[in-house]
Amino acid sequence: MTRTQKQPGQEENRTESGAKSGRGAASAVQSVDRAVSVLEILARHGEAGVTEIADELDVHKSTAFRLLGVLENRGLVAQAKDRGKYYLGAGVLRLAGAAAVRLDVSQEGVPVCRELADELGETVNIAVLDDDAAVNIMQARGTASVTAQNWLGRRTPLHATASGKVLLAHLPPTLREGLLARPLHRFTERTTTVASLLRGELDTAVQQGYAITREELEIGLAAAASPVRAHDGKVIASLSVSGPVYRLTQERLPEIAKRTEAAATELSRRMGYGF
């Protein structure tokens, strides 16, 4: 068998290509770091000119100008045309607002969830949408759930949980259909994996104000969840009660769901909805 002969300069080209790739990655990281630094400078000073920013970054004015141009195109900075100064743009407010909503609903939800957990004795969670999953950002445990697992911070599938179904049901149609077009993983025999059937469940959840699941994510686990709305009516989270099926029986679940819906309505009121 004849060994492949290396062409002249082949090894050198490969090495040079790898070096260029490494330099490119390092340059990209440096650019991101500088862009974040620009935002921090503007947050600190309120407004600043290209020369001031370049001096603080220790870069040429042209580099600072390019960074500001990219940030301005994305709405993260804006320029006062009369003074030539730059300041933080509305895009930063949108990003901060998204983070604030998560923080606010978590904080406002503490007394609501605590009261519901004490009343029902079960685990109460607040979950928000995180791409294609529901992530639990706040949890309160009732007296009967002291040995229950910790759901805080856990990402759970939208199609197999009560919280997930609520969040999925209230998405804009295009986003919802995009998620339903993906393969629906089966976790138990009860998991709904047919998109047409799941659509029916989501429509029902919207109509009745809550979603119920029994052993769809885990054997022995049942849950009920309802939507939490912001001041503008947009669903920003779901509030759920979960526990073992021997306590959250098929007969008791509708009652649990109604109490969950009432708590979610109270949290929505705290978030400004209905005023």
Q: Are strands 221-229 and 235-244 parallel, antiparallel or unpaired?
A: antiparallel
Based on the structure, what is the number of domains in the chain? 2
Q: Give residues with Cβ within 8 angstroms of 275, minimum separation 6.
A: 231, 269
5 domain residue, yes or no? no
Q: Which run of H or of E encompasses 137?
A: strand 133-140
Q: How far is CA 83 from the centre of its chain?
A: 38
Instruction: Indicate the pLDDT class of residue 259, thresholds 50, 70 and 90.
Output: very high
- Tell whether the model's pLDDT for residue 241 goes beyond 50: yes
Asked if residue 107 and residue 132 are part of one domain, the reply reads: yes
pLDDT in tens, 129-139: 988 899 998 99
Output the domain CATH number for residue 44: 1.10.10.10
7 domain residue, yes or no? no
Asked if residue 127 and residue 230 are part of one domain, the reply reads: yes
Instruction: Indicate the pLDDT class of residue 180, thresholds 50, 70 and 90.
Output: very high
What integer pLDDT is reported at residue 43 of this predicted model? 84
- Tell whether the model's pLDDT for residue 2 goes beyond 50: no
Task: Assess contact for 138 and 113: CB atoms under 8 A.
Answer: yes
40 domain residue, yes or no? yes
Q: Report the alpha-carbon distance of residue 173 to residue 114 in Å, rounded.
A: 33
Helices (H), the chain: 10-45, 50-57, 61-73, 90-120, 162-169, 173-180, 195-208, 253-270
* pTM of model > 0.75: no
State the Cα angle at 8 between 5 and 14, rounded to 5°: 90
What integer pLDDT is reported at residue 147 of this predicted model? 54
Q: Are strands 221-229 and 211-214 parallel, antiparallel or unpaired?
A: antiparallel
Q: Give residues with Cβ within 8 angstroms of 153, minimum separation 6.
A: 135, 136, 137
Instruction: Indicate the pLDDT class of residue 153, thresholds 50, 70 and 90.
Output: confident
Q: Give residues with Cβ within 8 angstroms of 12, minimum separation 6.
A: none
14 domain residue, yes or no? no
Task: Assess contact for 59 and 34: CB atoms under 8 A.
Answer: yes
Asked if residue 245 and residue 110 are part of one domain, the reply reads: yes
Asked if residue 139 and residue 53 are part of one domain, the reply reads: no
Q: Report the alpha-carbon distance of residue 79 to residue 86 in Å, rounded.
A: 4
Q: Are strands 133-140 and 211-214 parallel, antiparallel or unpaired?
A: unpaired
Asked if residue 244 and residue 121 are part of one domain, the reply reads: yes
208 domain residue, yes or no? yes
Q: Are strands 85-88 and 221-229 parallel, antiparallel or unpaired?
A: unpaired
What integer pLDDT is reported at residue 3 of this predicted model? 47
More confident residue, 260 or 20: 260
Q: Give residues with Cβ within 8 angstroms of 91, minimum separation 6.
A: 74, 75, 76
Average pLDDT, the chain: 85
- Tell whether the model's pLDDT for residue 230 goes beyond 60: yes
Asked if residue 239 and residue 175 are part of one domain, the reply reads: yes
92 domain residue, yes or no? yes
Asked if residue 121 and residue 254 are part of one domain, the reply reads: yes
Q: How far is CA 150 from CA 141, 146, 220, in A?
A: 9, 10, 16
4 domain residue, yes or no? no
- Residue 46 belongs to domain spanning: 23-99
Asked if residue 37 and residue 150 are part of one domain, the reply reads: no
Task: Assess contact for 210 and 166: CB atoms under 8 A.
Answer: yes
Asked if residue 240 and residue 135 are part of one domain, the reply reads: yes
Q: Is the torsion defined by CA of 37, 38, 40, 45 positive or negative?
A: positive
Output the domain CATH number for residue 142: 3.30.450.40
More confident residue, 92 or 55: 55
13 domain residue, yes or no? no
User: By CB neighbour count within 10 A (0-12 exposed, 13-18 middle, 19+ buried), where does 230 fall?
Assistant: middle
Asked if residue 91 and residue 120 are part of one domain, the reply reads: no
Choose the final residue of a domain: 99, 134, 161.
Answer: 99
Q: Report the alpha-carbon distance of residue 53 to residue 109 in Å, rounded.
A: 41
Instruction: Indicate the pLDDT class of residue 1, thresholds 50, 70 and 90.
Output: very low
Choose the final residue of a domain: 49, 77, 99.
Answer: 99
Asked if residue 187 and residue 56 are part of one domain, the reply reads: no
Choose the final residue of a domain: 99, 134, 164.
Answer: 99
Asked if residue 93 and residue 173 are part of one domain, the reply reads: no
